[in-house]
Amino acid sequence: MPLPVLGPGLVPAAAPETVQFSVRYSLPEYVSFMWQHAGYIIRRRRIGTLATYWMQTKSTSSAALHFVTQGRSRNTYEFTIDTHGIVRASGSGVTLVPWGDVCSIRRYSRGFMMVLKRGTLPVPFRCLSAAQGESMARFGESVRAATRL
- pLDDT above 90 for 39: no
Helices vs strands, H then E, count in the chain = 3, 7
Q: Of 118, 98, 116, whose CA–CA distance to 106 is shortest? A: 116
Do residues 108 and 37 lie in contact, with contact meaning Cβ atoms separated by under 8 Å? yes
The CATH number given to 21-148 is: 2.30.29
- pLDDT above 60 for 127: yes
pTM of the predicted protein model: 0.80
- pLDDT above 70 for 60: yes
The predicted-structure confidence for 61-109, as pLDDT tens digits, reads as follows: 999 998 998 888 788 999 999 988 999 999 889 999 999 999 999 999 9
Which pLDDT does position 11 carry in this prediction? 45
- Average pLDDT on 24-44 reads 91
Do residues 127 and 19 lie in contact, with contact meaning Cβ atoms separated by under 8 Å? no
The secondary element (H helix, E strand) that includes residue 25 is none
Which pLDDT does position 74 carry in this prediction? 84
The secondary element (H helix, E strand) that includes residue 69 is helix 49-69
